[in-house]
Amino acid sequence: MPRMLTYYIGATVDGFIAGPGGEIDFFPATQDVLDFIVDEYPETLPGHVRADLGIDPPNARFDAVIMGRATYTPALDAGITSPYAHLRQWVVTRSITESPDPAVTLVSADPVATVRELKLQDGAGIYLAGGGVLAGQLLDEIDELVVKVYPVVAGAGTPMFSTSLRPTNLTLVQSRRLASGTVIQSYVRP
């Protein structure tokens, strides 16, 4: 089976993945959501979160992660240079010119070419961790979209996809409502 790029993201009901200043503290941190993540998508938990929870589950779906600079920056600001040490890591950036960690590969050119190259390699899936600008650039390469839709309206912020108008049809393959009201929606390309 060929490798797939999965955009796995948390979003508000109105489609924002962060507030205007990058805020994410308004997303409810409920036990049922954490249990879902640990059971279904454990590799999406950064290493420091795994350590705080005292868990080290095996990777279930992914062996690589690609993220934008804005997604990587909070880890750097906290002194964490390799946030997903349990995965191979790529950061798409033009502003960081030298990798702060040998485990992190910087991508300053076309991220589409990088993803296409990764898809040709042997391995498990590729986790697109964000953000919206990178997801917009990679829209045509995304094979699966998994959205944790939190029961919150932000009103403004970073959209799930920052791109020009590009209607893209998807097929809903699973929808699961958690006790807290968060809904997990999984889509694939038809």
Q: What CATH code is carried by the domain that includes residue 87? A: 3.40.430.10
Whether the predicted pLDDT of 16 surpasses 70:
yes
What token pair was written down for 32? 């049922």
Whether residue 1 is predicted with pLDDT greater than 80 in this model: the reply is no
Residue type, 85: A
The chain-wide mean pLDDT, for the chain, equals: 96
Give mean pLDDT, residues 120-129.
97
pLDDT at 17: 97
Q: How far apart are CA 71 and CA 53, in angstroms?
A: 21
Backbone conformation region of residue 76, classed left if phi is above 0, alpha if psi is from -120 to 50, else beta: alpha
| 31, two tokens | 């036990």
Percentage of the chain modeled with pLDDT above 70:
99
Residue 2 clears pLDDT 90, i.e. is over it? no
Please determine, for residue 94, whether its predicted confidence score (pLDDT) is greater than 90. yes
Residue 104 has pLDDT above 80, yes or no: yes
pTM, entire model: 0.95
pLDDT at 83 (0 to 100)? 98
User: Does the pLDDT value for residue 103 go beyond 70?
Assistant: yes
Q: Measured between alpha carbons, how far is 97 from 114 in angstroms, rounded to an integer?
A: 17
pLDDT tens per residue, range 33-92: 999 999 999 999 999 999 999 999 999 999 999 999 999 999 999 999 999 999 999 999
Range of the domain at 181: 5-188
- pLDDT for the residue numbered 41: 97
Q: Report the number of distinct structural domains present in the chain.
A: 1
